[in-house]
Structure 1
Amino acid sequence: MPAVDRDVAGLGTARAIAFVAPALLLVAVFLVFPALWTLYIGITDYQLTGPAAARPSVVGAENFTRALDDPLFTNSLWLTALFVLGSAVIGQNALGFGLAWLLRGVRPRLRRAVEAFVLLAWILPGPVVAYLWFAVLSRDGGTLGLLLDRPTTAWLVEYPMASLIVFNTWRGTAFSMLLYTSALAAVPPSQLEAGRLLGASGSRLVRDVVFPHIRGHVLTNTLLISLWTANDFTPFLLTAGGPNHESEVLPVLIYRQALEGGQLGYASAMSLLLLVGNLLVALGYLRLLRRRA
């Protein structure tokens, strides 16, 4: 049998490389080079100022072992896991699916209005959203304190992680809602009706009829929002990691070590550890997707 011609478009190798070269160049400049540079800095004692800024020396794995033994790093790792689990895996997933499920049967105008309000929270710039929530949670005349008749409660000081979880759930639900709205539209109505005739309703209908159809969407959504949340810097705008490191998630700790503490090498090592964590989570989700396939 003749060999299959892989050059379907008839471009030739040289022209094909020329077409993809700009994209490869952008990937190299904005992804590969920063990653390699971060790796290099992570194995040095590079600092923002001082002699080590001009002549950094290689320290090998010292920064990584130091981070793993640092109570601040382990505390931030735990808070990041809690932040991701509470606001992304549970919060955004549940609220996004709940909104998508409830909006299926409402009037188009009402559905579009609700979707617009949810999207508004997602598309607004981070500093704007953080300022609005700071006004809601403020101890001095904050909206939440007035509504609950607790005007002197400092929510961001007394309940910093709970406040951040609620804030990030509210802000990031739009993506999950849109993805689940699209996924639910692909569920055959005949199967939903058959499930109702067989007595399934509410949670049983979702578990036995809907979920098998959207399992892949659930895993994809959970992967994306988990990675976004793990690398989110917006919590710094609300609490700056305080009080007493009680809301200092990893991106905030890395920022403070790099720019406030001037320890760029140490902060880069933390960044690489965060990257490894993201890769492990991504590989876990991809393995689940492969099992489903």
Structure 2
Amino acid sequence: MSPAGLLVGAFVIVPFFWVIFVSFTNRSLLGPTALNPDFVWFQNYIELFTSGRGVEPGTFGFSLILTVQFVLFSALIGQALLGLLLAWLLQQVPKSVKGFTETMVIGAWILPEVVIGFAWFAFLDYDNGTLNGILDALGLPRGDWLLDYPFWVIVVFNTWRGTAFSMMLFNSAFASIPPSYFQAADVAGASSWQKFRDIGLPLIRGHVVTDLILITMWTFNVFTPFLLTRGGPGGQTEVLSIYTYRVAFRDFDFGKGAAVGVVVMLINLAFALFYLWVARKRTPRKEAT
């Protein structure tokens, strides 16, 4: 266990505490505070919530609200529900169709993010994009998707990218349920929806919580939308990961960037604790009389 412990300590534990330490300083990349930063204690955190009007593009408050919306639409509503639906539908189709679908969906998961980002950029490009080419062929008006609908573009993009994980997780969960449960439901004349509601979903409750924890944290920290919009136009897609990058590596304000990182870690921790609380909560059952 020692080599693994050393690697975890060097690349996880030490950076974790270093980020917390830097967040209380005015460390920067350039200037006198690069080598000799001063302790400013909670000044970086105060500036995050008080700078500007708080909800204008380019501020921490705006990026926080935008990220919450991004997680809600692309992770919880998009990836989780779509992955659950695909996994359940795959239980109803022939093995050949199931294998082909799994291969196509997993392809979206294993491809490098840079490749996927540039592929989607080429798909949505106004002048030579594939989507506008299809619309032209159908006689429909083309759209400047990255300029007119930047937020929904990154929502659809991230949903397409991450649904594969949810589908694979739920697919394995459904496969672990004894077939006799569903066979008994078939004999009783249960519909597909009734089998899903009364048998499938209750038995994969733990997998649902695991999926929600992972995709929430991943989506909260995802940086791939930067490849499509670079946070624009006008900061309309500057989620917290891109905001942190801009503050720390463009404005060279490491102290403030570290403060954003600490806040993000606390938010992820809150999400994880909430999901675990929901998973452990048990609804009292009335005794049959």
2:28 to 19, 27, 47: 47
| Counterpart amino acid of residue 243 in structure 2 | L
Which residue of structure 2 lines up, in the alignment, with residue 109 of structure 1? 96
Which residue of structure 1 lines up, in the alignment, with residue 14 of structure 2? 33
| Counterpart amino acid of residue 254 in structure 2 | L
Using the size of structure 2 for normalisation, the TM-score is 0.90
| Counterpart amino acid of residue 247 in structure 1 | T
Percent identity between matched residues is: 45
Which residue of structure 2 lines up, in the alignment, with residue 6 of structure 1? none
Count of residue pairs brought into register by the alignment: 274
Which residue of structure 1 lines up, in the alignment, with residue 163 of structure 2? 173
What is the deviation of 1:197?
Answer: 4.4
Matched, 1:160 2:141: no
Which segments of 5 or more consecutive residues in structure 2 lack a partner in the other structure? 284-289
Counterpart contact for 1:63–1:265, Cα < 8 Å: yes
1:68 to 26, 49, 52: 49
Inter-partner Cα distance in structure 2 for 1:111 and 1:206: 18
What is the deviation of 1:53?
Answer: 1.0
1:193 to 180, 183, 190: 183
RMSD of the TM alignment (CA)? 1.7
Inter-partner Cα distance in structure 2 for 1:221 and 1:292: 19
1:143 to 124, 130, 143: 130
1:126 to 88, 95, 113: 113
Aligned pairs for 1:234-253 (under 5 A) are 234-253=224-243
Counterpart contact for 1:142–1:151, Cα < 8 Å: no
What is the deviation of 1:120?
Answer: 0.9
What is the deviation of 1:27?
Answer: 1.6
Which residue of structure 2 lines up, in the alignment, with residue 80 of structure 1? 67
Using the size of structure 1 for normalisation, the TM-score is 0.88
Inter-partner Cα distance in structure 2 for 1:200 and 1:161: 41
Counterpart contact for 1:83–1:165, Cα < 8 Å: yes
Counterpart contact for 2:135–2:142, Cα < 8 Å: no
Q: Deviations over 1:136-155 (max 9, x none)?
A: 11111212223234564211
Matched, 1:259 2:246: no
Counterpart contact for 2:25–2:40, Cα < 8 Å: yes
Q: Deviations over 1:127-175 (max 9, x none)?
A: 1000000011111121222323456421111111111111111111111
Inter-partner Cα distance in structure 2 for 1:203 and 1:105: 12
Which residue of structure 1 lines up, in the alignment, with residue 286 of structure 2? none
What is the deviation of 1:236?
Answer: 0.7
Counterpart contact for 1:64–1:269, Cα < 8 Å: yes
What is the deviation of 1:225?
Answer: 0.8
Which residue of structure 1 lines up, in the alignment, with residue 39 of structure 2? 58
Q: Find the residue that maps to 2:204 and give its secondary structure.
A: helix
